A and B are shown apart, each in its own frame.
Chain A
Amino acid sequence: MRLPDKTTTLEEAVAGIGDGAVVMVGGFGVPGTPFTLIRELVRQGPKNLTVIKNDANETGMGVDHLLASGQVARLITTHIGLNPRAIELMNAGKIEVEFNPQGILAERIRAGGAGLGGILTDIAEDTELARGKQRVEIDAKRFLVETALRADVALIHADRADTFGNLDYVATARNFNPLMAMAAPRVIAEAERVLALGELPPDDVHTPGPFVDHVVELGALTEEYAVVRR
């Protein structure tokens, strides 16, 4: 038996993401952000997107391009302090921003990826983030219900992929990527290196290939992937 080949072109991988789609985007700051897939999403131009990402990157990078092009209607995130445009759009009411505690965003995505309906937590129970959320009591403890998050499509940045879509990540570029790679029916991975089947040792795989639909090999990395000089 031979595992199927999921490698494709950048254009085909991103094609067909429609207006109003919910898009998960991996990355925490620069590491793990799929800058090339984001650029292609900007080029193809679907509108009214809900973007789920830890942060909004920085000016001129990643998610900022989607904000600049007016493609984002809603951002589900944890912190946008490094992107003045995101804050300006939020304050002007031009995008809706939903803040989550960082680990709760991660668990909501993991729950979505695991086929669960949500999670129970006491995190943020005393804060305004708890407003409007359902509360339940179990064994005399009170919890907030945090619903699971899924997306229509997840954009993932991997270090290595094989042609079947087994992925691994390096250093702090892992972050939300393996969680989001489970939480959408269509998962697109860009990879710095694409290996032949068998070249990625099974024990090194962080995201198993069955979760992944398309693999795009990156050529020379663009400036966005480089060390940020502040």
Chain B
Amino acid sequence: MVARAAREIEPGMVVNLGIGLPTKVINHLASDFPVCLHTENGLSGIGPTLPPDRADRNLIDAGGAYVSTVPGSAFFDSATSFALVRSGRLDLTMLGAFEVSQTGDLANWKIPGKFSPGAGGGIELAQKARRVAVLTTQTDRAGNPKLKAACDLPITARACVARVFTEMAVIDIAPAGFSLVELAEGVSAGEVAEATGAPLILPDGDIPTF
């Protein structure tokens, strides 16, 4: 699914990869692929992640991983970093999720009583990136669908998600709801529908696999 998500990135884009699964997308981009990766803490042009013995103590991404620069990188302050996000310069962000609703609402920052460390820059990324894709598992650890008719958890932003990548499928948020786009190899549309908490619209004809 991470490899499939990486194909979502088009040449020339400015992209922010959220903490967790989305960060792994970077491993599936060719070193000469023309893209500018942005991180909220003040870097455009993220280079490869470095092991501790080669790391620069002053150079991390927003998740705290030690990263590097590429020719053409730039550093800036936190206000400039989010000016870039809010003004529409961020073409794509890929984020993790607790829940996604059939209208594209995203909940990924708070589980009341259990997990409330703050949203960091997630609200602005979700609300203002030109395109928001979610990388997540189809169900939570208890087996409950993460794709639901409506979010029960506090939302991060409303009607922001365009596409969801899971280990089972690629699913778009269409005007009529969750719409199956692709299936993981060996997974059936019925299995995806069963693991989705709202109606799943199937395409006409063959469904491509990844």
Interface residues of B in 125-146 (CB under 8 A from A): 127-128
Query: Cβ of B82 and Cβ of A127 under 8 Å apart?
Result: no
Contact B52 A229 (CB under 8 A): yes
The yes or no answer to A78 lying at the interface (CB within 8 A) is yes
Interface size on A, residues (CB 8 A): 50
Q: Are B117 and A80 in contact (CB under 8 A)?
A: yes
Within 8 A of B (CB), among A46-95: 54, 77-82, 87, 90
| B13 part of interface (Cβ distance < 8 Å) | no
Residues in B whose Cβ lies below 8 Å from that of A226: 57
B10 at the binding interface (Cβ < 8 Å): no
A179 touches B58 (CB 8 A): no
Count A-B contacts at CB 8 Å: 134
Task: Give the size range of B's interface with the partner.
Answer: 35 or more
* Pairwise interchain contact A227-B57, C-beta atoms closer than 8 A: yes
Q: Is A143 interfacial (CB-CB < 8 Å)?
A: no
B-side binding surface: helix, strand, loop or mixed? loop
- Contact between A123 and B77, CB atoms less than 8 A apart: no
CB of B57 within 8 A of CB of A174, answer: no
* A102 proximity list for chain B (CB < 8 A): 40, 78, 82, 119-121, 124
Given the complex, which residues of B lie within 8 Å of A104, measured CB to CB? 82, 124
* Supplied contacts A28-B42, A31-B41, A129-B119, 11 more A-B pairs, CB within 8 Å: A78-B119, A79-B118, A103-B82, A103-B85, A103-B121, A107-B79, A124-B123, A127-B156, A128-B154, A227-B52, A227-B66
Instruction: List A contacts of B56 (CB < 8 A).
Output: 171
